[in-house]
Amino acid sequence: MERIPEIYGKLVFNDRIMRDKLPGDVYKALRKTIKKGTHLELDVANAVAIAMKEWAVENGATHFTHWFQPMTGYTAEKHDSFISPTDDGQVIMEFSGKELVKGEPDASSFPSGGIRATFEARGYTAWDPSSPAFIKDGTLCIPTAFCSYTGEALDKKTPLLRSMDALSKEATRILNLLGNEEVESVTTTVGPEQEYFLIDKDDYAKRRDLIFTGRTLIGAPSPKGQEMDDHYFGALRPRVAAYMHDLDMELWKLGIPAKTKHNEVAPAQHELAPVFDTTNVAVDRNQLTMEIMKRVAQKHNFVCLLHEKPFAGINGSGKHNNWSMTTNTGANLLDPGKTPAENTQFLVFLAAVIKAVDEYADMMRLSVASAGNDHRLGANEAPPAIISIFLGDELTAVIDSIKNDTFFKKNDKVVMETGAAVIPHFTRDNTDRNRTSPFAFTGNKFEFRSLGSSASVATPNIVLNTAVADALSDFYEVLKDVPADELQSAVHDLIKDTFKKHERIIFNGNGYTDEWVREAERRGLYNLKSTPDVLPRFIDERNIRLFTKHGIFTETEIRSRYEILLENYCKTIHIEACTLREMIYHDFSPAVIRFMDSLSQSVISKKQISSLISTSAEERMLEKISAQYEALYVAVGKLEEAIARAEEMDDGLDLAQFYHDPVFRDMEKVRSIADGIEAYVPDEFLPYPTYSKILFYV
């Protein structure tokens, strides 16, 4: 068996491979491009392409693909072989710098929000040298950006890279102004934790709702859910442990630093967490992780569910985005150090983050909005829809001392004693954790906890990077002309004023309470509960100005994404509504009718045997189910009418709101009645597995 250090990254064209395969001058030129974002000359690209091809072929690759992330939320790839025919009827294996740098996939059938018409097919993929190529299924995958023939970004990577550049520029300017002149660039880093469900493949195949929508649209709760708290961090079931082991191995081969794995709160729910990485690499690797999770699951006769709410009545799945900023000299800008009150650099960047989140809380909320995530946010299983920041006791005390011009006294470390002599003493952290907070400081990073499990982590980081860059830009404008001997005082005043102006966004309490909802309203914070509520914020003039100012999006790109998000929301609910209607008619109704026939036959049989035998129990049950079934028929009829009305409406915000209100409300009514009936129907009559079977028989 191969040792882990030997297999780690074996399928990645990483720095070690590049240093080994490339000529020295080519390697240096490529590293300069990766580190500083300089232009890569074609002769360098040609040399890299030859080495990359040779390495890929040595590792069994026969094809290459430009691997990109269109606005579907998934990845895309078109495979081309390395073969090139020769005059003597043979082939040689070739791969040029031109093929490495640029590809040309059809752009007509990807979401474009009106940027591309169906008859306008040309689009381009362009190599991202900062994200390493890798081999998957015998194909060399080259991470790329994706743009239209007219230059607009059609993907998530391009604006992400732009946002990273914007933050690096603004952070470097501030650091240099503060006297930290050796800093040349700042990189954002992300560690995305990933929650997911594992269910049996055979059970999945029997549920058309899971197949078509990723979540169950009907299903009575099982007698036991998560109320005993026995699944969280519990011992892994052997079959699940085997899956997790194979998943780790596959991820490690691809250089993905999978670190932590455990059972989550809900039955059949689990979590995987990697070590942090540069943001665009972390985004690529999270997309790849989700794909590998699904593929490995198939080998173990599982299906991996990444929907935010596969099962009603138990926790859904999220994705925690652990975000920080690091200089090219290796300093973490969100590390408070031993004395945060005296760490001016840290306080400047902390103030910038607080200002950014407060001013663009609507965009933070929009960055995690989806039909699936609407089921979680504010449902006492995920952070509320109200965006706020948790800082903990110590940092809050530091901020209070700065606002009030009082002395901050750092508390001594508290030594924790368990009362058992054999257990070593240890010191308590300076702050507790707050799982109800959407945006929590966790020592040397911020954890954005509101993301849905199926989402790309690109969009939240685009918004976060851009908003912080904007705050730092404002800081620079305030400080750039201040004389050197007055700079320290000016920085102090800037930090103080920022904390005072934006303190409303800081909340260290329980975000699940009604009291917080009322308090947030009093503070003037957004409470954008649903996707249709928040999407119009994208095309608000202030937000358009933010993204265009820093070159993240053009106004055309913003409006196209707005249209795509609206369309995606409407299509998602439409598919769910049609699937629910189909399940009721094709699966559920026949099962209920068979069960009622069985009850009727029981009544008839007993009466035939003897008029003295009581049939009241069967008759009462039959009457109850029959009445509920009539109500179900009426409810499905209303749902059909709502679907028909929606199909006649024009696309846009009105349609999204119609799907959110009448259509979704009618779906919930159908589900409520169906779930009530299902509680009476024995499993042998149902054509699909129940919650009990799916969640507890793995």
pLDDT of residue 91: 64
pLDDT tens digits, one per residue of 257-297: 999 999 898 999 999 999 999 999 999 999 999 999 999 99
Q: Are 102 and 124 in contact (CB under 8 A)?
A: yes
Does the structure show a pLDDT above 60 at 480? yes
Give a yes or no: residue 562 inside a domain: no
Residue 306 domain boundaries: 163-219+226-553
Burial class (CB in 10 A: 0-12, 13-18, 19+), 669: middle
CATH number at residue 535: 3.30.590.10
**pLDDT, average across residues 251-262:** 94
Please tell me the predicted confidence (pLDDT) of residue 446. 94
Phi, psi of 329 (to 5 degrees): -90, 0
The total number of structural domains that make up the chain: 3
Is 450:377 a contact under the CB 8 Å cutoff? yes
pLDDT-derived band of residue 111, with 50, 70 and 90 as boundaries?
confident
- Quote the tokens at residue 157: 């990577």
- The confidence score (pLDDT) of residue 612 equals 57
CB atoms within 10 A of CB 13: 23
CATH number at residue 67: 3.10.20.70
- Residues counted in the chain: 698
DSSP secondary-structure letter at 2?
A: -
Q: 29-33, 104-108, 126-130, 492-496: which has the minimum mean pLDDT? A: 104-108
Q: What three-state secondary structure class fits 84?
A: strand
| Burial class (CB within 10 angstroms; exposed 0-12, middle 13-18, buried 19+) of 327 | buried
Q: For residue 132, is pLDDT > 90?
A: yes
Residue 559 domain-assigned (yes or no): no
Alpha carbon dihedral 13, 17, 23, 29, in 10-degree steps, equals 50
- Would the pLDDT of 88 be above 80? no
The reply to whether 197 and 121 lie within a common domain is: no
Are 416 and 336 in contact by the 8 Å Cβ rule? The answer is: no
Is residue 93 within 8 A of residue 83, CB to CB? The reply is: yes
d(C-alpha 594, C-alpha 483), whole Å: 86
Say what the pLDDT of residue 301 is: 97
Residue 245 lies in a domain: yes
Q: Is residue 587 part of a domain?
A: yes
**Domain check: are 406 and 513 in the same one?**
yes
Judge residue 620's burial from the number of C-beta atoms within 10 Å of its C-beta, 0-12 exposed, 13-18 middle, 19 or more buried: exposed
pLDDT band for 208, please (50, 70, 90 cuts). very high
pLDDT score for 611: 64
Complete DSSP assignment for 164-227: HHHHHHHHHHHHHHTT-TT---EEEEEEEEEEEEEEEHHHHHT-HHHHHHSS-SS-PPPS--ST
Q: DSSP assignment, residue 103?
A: E
Same domain? 506 vs 650: no
Mean pLDDT score of the chain: 90
Cα maximum dimension of the chain = 106
CB 448 within 8 A of CB 438: yes
- Domain match, 383 and 474 both: yes
Of 142-146, 324-328, 404-408, 433-437, the one with minimum mean pLDDT is 404-408
User: Is 563 among the domain residues?
Assistant: no
pLDDT at 383: 87
Whether residue 108 is predicted with pLDDT greater than 80 in this model: the reply is no
User: Can you give the pLDDT at residue 151?
Assistant: 84
**CB neighbourhood size of 408 (10 A):** 16
Give a three-class secondary structure readout of 372-424. CHHHCCCCCCCCCCCCCEECHHHHHHHHHHHHHCCCCCCCCCCEECCCCCCCC
Closest of 626, 360, 378 to residue 510, by C-alpha: 378
Residues 664/633, Cβ–Cβ less than 8 Å:
no
Q: Other CB atoms closer than 10 Å to residue 35's CB: what's the count?
A: 13
In CATH, what number is assigned to the domain containing residue 582? Answer: 1.20.120.1560
8 A C-beta contact, residue 538 and residue 562: yes
Same-domain status, 22 and 99: yes
Question: Which tens digit of pLDDT belongs to each residue from 619-650?
Answer: 888 999 999 999 999 999 999 999 999 999 98
**pLDDT value of position 407:** 61
How far is CA 47 from each of CA 50, 98, 195, rounded to the nearest angstrom?
5, 11, 41
DSSP structural state of residue 509: S
List the one residue out of 312, 271, 323, 319 whose CA is nearest residue 293: 271
- pLDDT band at 616, cuts 50/70/90? confident
- Grade residue 179 by pLDDT with cuts at 50, 70 and 90: very high
SS3 assignment for 211-275:
HHHCCCCCCCCCCCCCCCCCCCCCCCCHHHHHHHHHHHHHHHHCCCCEEEEEECCCCCEEEEEEC
Q: Are residues 465 and 602 in the same domain?
A: no
In b/e form, how buried is each residue of 338-372, taking b as 16+ CB within 10 angstroms?
A: eebbebebbbbbbbbbbbbbbbbbbbbbbbbbbbb
Extract the tokens encoding 577: 């509504």
Residue 472 has pLDDT above 80, yes or no: yes
Looking at the DSSP bridge assignments, the partners of residue 441 are: 446
Read off the amino acid at residue 49.
Answer: A
pLDDT tens column, 412-439: 565 666 566 655 655 555 565 677 899 9
Burial state string for 447-465 with b = 16 or more CB within 10 A and e = fewer than 16: bbbbbbbbbbbbbbbbbbb
Q: Are residues 403 and 440 in the same domain?
A: yes
543 domain residue, yes or no: yes
**Which residues contact residue 378 at a Cβ distance below 8 angstroms, ignoring those fewer than 6 apart?**
384, 385, 386, 529
Environment class of residue 647 by beta-carbon count within 10 Å: exposed (0-12), middle (13-18) or buried (19+)? exposed
The CA distance from 580 to 574, in Å, is: 10
Do 123 and 174 lie in one domain? The reply is: no
pLDDT at 614: 65
SS3 content of the chain, % helix, strand, coil (to 5): 50, 15, 35
pLDDT digits 0-9 by tens, 334-353: 998 877 767 899 999 999 99
Kindly write down the DSSP assignment for every residue of 465-499, as one continuous string: HHHHHHHHHHHHHHHTTS-GGGHHHHHHHHHHHHH
Residue 181 and residue 316 in one domain: yes
pLDDT at 114: 73
Residues 460 and 522 placed together within one structural domain of the fold: yes
pLDDT of residue 457: 96
Instruction: Please check whether residue 621 lies inside any domain of the structure.
Output: yes
Q: Is 646 helix (H, G, I), strand (E, B) or coil?
A: helix
Average pLDDT over residues 597-611: 80
Cβ–Cβ < 8 Å for 579, 209: yes
Structure tokens at 15: 């720095």
- Is residue 659 within 8 Å of residue 574, measured between CB atoms? yes
- Band (pLDDT 50/70/90 cuts) for residue 697 is confident
Distance from C-alpha of 682 to C-alpha of 595, rounded to nearest angstrom:
8
Q: Which three-class secondary structure state does DSSP give residue 611?
A: coil
User: What's the token pair of residue 508?
Assistant: 């260290």
Boundary-marking domain end, from 101, 124, 154:
154
CA dihedral sign, ordered 221, 222, 223, 229: negative
Q: How far is CA 596 from the centre of its chain?
A: 44
Contacts of 604 (CB under 8 A, 6+ apart): none
Shared domain check, 233 and 95: no
CA distance 590 to 306: 30
Of the candidates 500, 526, 553, which is a domain's last residue? Answer: 553
Count of C-beta atoms within a 10 Å radius of residue 36: 10
322: helix, coil or strand?
Answer: strand
In a domain, 105, yes or no: yes
Boundary of a domain, candidates 154, 173, 199: 154
Residue 657 and residue 538 share a domain: no
At residue 388, the pLDDT reads 96
Give the pLDDT of residue 615. Answer: 62
